[in-house]
Amino acid sequence: MNSKPEKRKALGRGLETLLPAARGIQAAISASAAPPEQPAATIVRDIPVELIDRNPYQTRTSFDETALNELAESIKVSGVVQPITVRQNSGRFQLVTGERRWLASQRAGKPTVPAIVRLLSNEQAMEITIIENLQREDLNPVEQARAYERLSLEFGLTQEQMAQRTGKDRSSVANFLRLLKLPPDVLKMVEANKLTFGHAKALMGLDSPESIMKLATRAVQLSMSVRQVEGSVYNLMHPEPPAPKPERVLDPNVRDAEQQLQRALGVRVQIQDKQGKGRIVLEYSSLEDFDRVLEMLNSSR
């Protein structure tokens, strides 16, 4: 009897489901705790921290300083539990994965850091870096959006393919990519955690960049909830029609007087009467009308 196809592994089990090069990295990490008979390509080496350069394909732009200091204190006591991954680059080494561990090792005063040296092309290194970051929970929404954008532009991946490689829903990938259409100043608010991804998604419902910026600024100033922003967007997209002006109720004598004046002066006349007191309003549509009415009034003296 045929067994059912094995389901795709869930996130959190490493990069082995993503691409061949990543499977090699995961195998190397597991092998570091095994007996010493290891292939040369997967041996964990202690590499001087000053010989390692940052990853040029890193999509993360910020790190939590408190968490980084906590990791540094842990490394002081227990060392680096999981080796970082690097590749050789012009006599030096370039990070592929493990930037936080490398930075924390420096803060802990460690002269070296355990690392696995892999032979990777630029494309492999970039894809591993981006996908590993997308599996993390501490990327801000804008960093995630830019990571998906790079996968699309530099690797030609569709939204469905990106969803499969990162374990996300395709709709989530689409929402992150749409996020980048917001005005740059609004994206800065999201990066600074002044607005959440929920706020940003609500703002996407507006068409005008000016309207988006105005509402985003108000949301920050008033600490508006996502529900409140959604309500404001709905009201802006579905404005209530202006209330009709109440119809004038005129005394028949007043209406007759208006009509007589309009025939005599050739302009629209409105009499506003309140219990025998009021005013007469003459409406002219051109300077010629004004001069003509003024001349008629002067000649009647």
Query: Quick one: which of 29, 50, 26 has its CA closest to 105?
Result: 50
More confident call, 248 vs 185: 185
Is the overall model pTM greater than 0.85, yes or no?
A: no
Q: Which two tokens stand for residue 84?
A: 């970082």
DSSP element (H, E) containing 45: strand 44-48
Per-residue pLDDT of 171-183, as tens digits, reads 989 999 999 999 9
Q: 22 vs 13, 40, 105, 127, 220, CA distance in Å?
A: 12, 17, 23, 9, 41
DSSP element (H, E) containing 219: helix 209-221
99 is catalytic: yes
Phi, psi values for residue 74, rounded to 5° = -65, -40
pLDDT beyond 80 at 188:
yes
Q: Selecting from 2.60.40.10, 2.30.110.10, 3.90.1530.30, 3.90.1150.180, what CATH number does the domain 20-130 have?
A: 3.90.1530.30
Phi, psi values for residue 58, rounded to 5° = -65, 130
The pLDDT, as a whole number, for residue 52 is 94
Instruction: Give the confidence band of 32 by pLDDT, cuts at 50, 70, 90.
Output: very low
The pLDDT, as a whole number, for residue 248 is 66
pLDDT beyond 90 at 37:
no
pLDDT beyond 50 at 230:
yes
Cβ atoms of 127 and 36 within 8 Å: the answer is no
Q: Which of 16, 65, 73, 99 is catalytic?
A: 99
Number of residues assigned to the chain? 301
3 state DSSP class of 92: strand
Provide mean pLDDT across the span 144-170. Answer: 87
Cβ atoms of 60 and 163 within 8 Å: the answer is no
Provide mean pLDDT across the span 262-275. Answer: 82
pLDDT beyond 80 at 189:
yes
The pLDDT, as a whole number, for residue 137 is 61
Instruction: Give the confidence band of 201 by pLDDT, cuts at 50, 70, 90.
Output: very high
More confident call, 59 vs 83: 83
